């Protein structure tokens, strides 16, 4: 049993004719990055909104936000993805699902489902981080804001959130790393991101080790790049006077 | 409007239960192995022996940087070849379950090791000093003084990680292994009732994981109340 290594395989023309196997991999990398970044935007926006709702007085709003978190945290990502992709277009009312299936090409359908799925999934985690950031602030800050005549929304906007967001940058970094790793799950609905390109490469080249080593290395590079970038952001946003502060 | 038809679920329950057993088997074996090997990794990482500490750090950081899907693909590629080479297995033997179990166990160890390391580090230094003042060796101090306290504090986190792991076992879908999710997908695909079966699978996962996480939360509260006294 001896394995024939052939690293030159990446430079040979791919079966699609218009590219090399290296080109396939890079297009997968591009999809992974685009998918993760766009899902991250959704996750941050929704997660911040829900995180704020978790902390407002009154049972109703915080109850809705708590339910939201439980739903997205207790169903496996893969199942959520399949529900977004296979179930939702079928059951959406007013012909929205029909329009989604008919007007968008398959690749766009996969990308949109994957993006929304990853975004919502991650938003539940972001929500919990934002909530703990707001709760970590001394009670006096909110009271001081209200005493100065701010309304509750103004207190959040000008007093609580600017501090809370700076406190939660480190835990959000690990969620940001997770979204890149979780994006690999989207290969299961046929979206040709990095992991899917890796599997396709195995089928077309019969060189499984080179393909997987290259794809794994690309994930490691993503990891290092994101960590380096976020360390920069963490240094910039660190709050002086707190543990780990300047 | 979509016409729901749930009639294919009752008949498929035995098949789905078979799948659930696969999911639970993988979860349980990975939790047990993960805690044992994770403890070893954590102790190596904290040990003064440089090569051991570096090996453990490398292992943990590598596994934590790679997507689980990729790790599983690797194990479905390598494990069958190794097993067949080592035991002269018939090429048709199905080793997907074994591959999945090994993959999950080695992957989860990295995550467990980080939880356990934090747990060990949460034990005050004075405890180790007191143990060695009593004449205990490093191994004795670890076994009799540090680890029992560390584990007690870690139990909620270890259980939460087990719930995450249970959810992650659905990813064996990439090898077409029929765990609970794979079984649900197969039934839905066969009967043309994918919508109902996927919703059903989601509901079952939700109920199990929600109930389990509530139990963990209650346990955590009890633990906190106990520590506070």
Measure in Å the smallest separation between the Cα of A77 and chain B Cα atoms: 8
pLDDT for B93 = 75
Q: What is the ipTM of this complex?
A: 0.90
Q: Do the chains contact at A91 and B181, CB–CB below 8 Å?
A: no
Q: Output the CA–CA distances (angstroms, integers) from residue B35 to B42, B68, B132, in the order listed.
A: 10, 18, 26
Rounded-to-integer distance, Cα B162 and Cα B66, Å:
19
The fold adopted by the segment(s) B11-228 is MetI-like fold (1.10.3720)
Of the listed ranges A11-25, A32-46, B9-23, B198-212, the one predicted with least confidence: A11-25
- Over 70: is that where the pLDDT of A1 sits? no
**What pLDDT was estimated at residue A57?**
87
B70 inside 8 A of chain A by CB: yes
Please check whether residue B82 touches A, CB under 8 A: no
- A96 and chain B: CB distance < 8 Å anywhere? no
Question: Taking the domains of chain B in order of start, what are their residue ranges?
Answer: 11-228
| Contact between residue A155 and residue A142 where contact means Cβ atoms under 8 Å apart | yes
Contact B199 A220 (CB under 8 A): no
Do the chains contact at B67 and A199, CB–CB below 8 Å? no
SS3 (DSSP) at B201: helix
In chain A, residues with a C-beta closer than 8 Å to the C-beta of B171 are: 76, 78, 185
The reported pLDDT for the residue numbered B47 is 87
Inform me whether the pLDDT recorded for A51 exceeds 70.
Answer: yes
Give the residue on B whose Cα is nearest the Cα of A226. B65
Contact A219/B73, CB-based, under 8 Å? Answer: no
Does the CB of A95 have a partner CB in chain B at under 8 Å? Answer: no
Euclidean distance between CA atoms B214 and A70, whole angstroms: 10
- Burial class, A211, CB count within 10 angstroms (exposed 0-12 / middle 13-18 / buried 19+): buried
- Which residues in chain B have their CB less than 8 angstroms from residue A198's CB? 70, 73
Phi and psi at residue A57, to the nearest 5°: -65, 155
Question: pTM of the prediction?
Answer: 0.91
**How far is residue A205 CA from its own chain's centroid?**
31
Other CB atoms closer than 10 Å to residue A54's CB: what's the count? 22
| pLDDT of residue B157 exceeding 90 | yes
List, in order of start, the domains of chain A with CATH numbers.
Answer: 17-237 (1.10.3720.10)
Q: Determine the pLDDT at residue A87.
A: 93
Residue pair A133/A164 in contact by the 8 Å Cβ criterion = yes
Contacts of A87 in chain B (CB under 8 A): 194-195, 198-199
Q: pLDDT (tens digit, 9 = 90+) per residue, B98-150?
A: 899 999 999 999 999 999 999 998 888 899 899 999 999 988 998 899 999 88
- Residue pLDDT, tens place only, A101-127: 888 888 999 999 999 999 999 999 999
pLDDT attached to residue A246: 44
Q: What is the pLDDT of residues A183-236, one digit of tens each?
A: 999 999 999 999 999 999 888 888 889 999 999 999 999 999 999 999 999 988
pLDDT(B221) > 70:
yes
Confidence at residue B82, expressed as pLDDT on a 0 to 100 scale? 84
- Look up residue B92 and give its two tokens: 């048709």
Helix/strand/coil for B47:
coil
Whether pLDDT at A93 is above 60: yes
Rounded mean pLDDT, B81-108 = 85
- What one-character-per-residue DSSP string does A144-210 give? HHHHTT--HHHHIIIIIHHHHHHHTHHHHHHHHHHHHHHGGGGGGGT--SHHHHHHHHHHHHS-HHH
Rounded distance between C-alpha atoms, residue B166 and residue B177, angstroms: 15
DSSP symbols for B95-115:
-HHHHHHHHHHHHHHHHHHHH
The count of other CB atoms within 10 Å of the CB of residue B76 is 19
CA dist., res. A10 & res. B70, Å (int): 19
Contact status of B85 with chain A (Cβ, < 8 Å)? yes
Minimum distance, in Å, between the CA of residue A148 and any CA atom of chain B: 37
Dist CA B143 CA B137 (whole Å)? 10
Report the pLDDT value the prediction gives residue A96, as an integer from 0 to 100: 80
Please report how many Cα atoms fall inside a 13 Å half-sphere around the Cα of residue A101, on the Cβ side. Answer: 13
Q: Which two tokens stand for residue A106?
A: 């398959």
pLDDT in tens, B43-63: 999 988 999 999 999 999 999
């Amino acid at each position: 049993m001896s394995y024939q290594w052939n690293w030159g395989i990446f430079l040979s023309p791919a079966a699609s004719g218009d590219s090399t196997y290296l080109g396939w991999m890079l297009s997968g990398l591009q999809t992974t990055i685009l998918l993760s970044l766009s899902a991250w935007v959704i996750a941050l926006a929704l997660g911040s909104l829900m995180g704020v709702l978790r902390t407002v007085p009154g049972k109703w709003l915080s109850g809705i936000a708590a339910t939201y978190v439980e739903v997205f945290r207790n169903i496996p990502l893969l199942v959520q993805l399949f529900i977004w992709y296979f179930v939702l277009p079928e059951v959406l009312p007013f012909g929205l699902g029909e329009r989604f299936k008919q007007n968008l090409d398959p690749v766009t359908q996969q990308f949109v489902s994957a993006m929304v799925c990853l975004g919502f999934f991650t938003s539940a985690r972001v929500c919990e981080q934002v909530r703990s950031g707001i709760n970590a602030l001394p009670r006096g800050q909110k009271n001081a804001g209200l005493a100065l005549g701010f309304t509750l929304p103004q207190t959040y906007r000008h007093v609580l959130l600017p501090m809370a967001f700076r406190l939660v940058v480190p835990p959000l970094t690990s969620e940001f790393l997770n979204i890149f790793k979780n994006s690999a799950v989207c290969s299961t609905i046929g979206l040709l991101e990095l992991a899917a390109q890796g599997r396709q490469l195995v089928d077309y080249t019969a060189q499984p080790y080179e393909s997987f080593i290259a794809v794994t290395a690309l994930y490691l590079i993503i990891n290092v790049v994101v960590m380096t970038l976020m360390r920069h952001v963490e240094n910039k946003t660190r709050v002086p006077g707190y543990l780990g502060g300047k | 409007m979509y016409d729901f038809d749930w009639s294919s679920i009752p008949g498929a329950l035995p098949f789905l239960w078979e799948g659930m057993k696969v999911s639970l088997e993988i979860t349980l074996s990975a939790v047990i192995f993960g805690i044992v090997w994770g403890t070893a990794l954590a102790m190596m990482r904290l040990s003064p022996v440089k090569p051991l500490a570096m090996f453990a750090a490398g292992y943990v950081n590598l596994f934590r940087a790679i997507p689980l899907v990729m790790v599983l693909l690797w194990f479905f590629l390598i494990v069958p070849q190794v097993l067949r080479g080592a035991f002269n297995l018939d090429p048709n033997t199905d080793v997907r379950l074994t591959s999945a179990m090994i993959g999950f166990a080695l992957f989860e160890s990295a995550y467990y090791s980080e939880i356990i390391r934090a747990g060990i580090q949460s034990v005050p230094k004075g405890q180790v000093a007191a143990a060695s003042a009593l004449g205990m060796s490093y191994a004795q101090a670890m076994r009799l003084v540090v680890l029992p306290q560390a584990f007690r504090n870690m139990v909620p986190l270890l259980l939460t990680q087990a719930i995450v792991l249970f959810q992650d076992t659905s990813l064996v879908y990439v090898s077409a292994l029929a765990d609970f999710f794979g079984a649900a997908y197969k039934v839905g695909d066969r009967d043309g009732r994918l919508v109902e079966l996927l919703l059903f699978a989601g509901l079952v996962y939700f109920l199990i994981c929600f109930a389990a996480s509530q139990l963990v939360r209650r346990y955590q509260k009890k633990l906190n109340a106990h520590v506070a006294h």
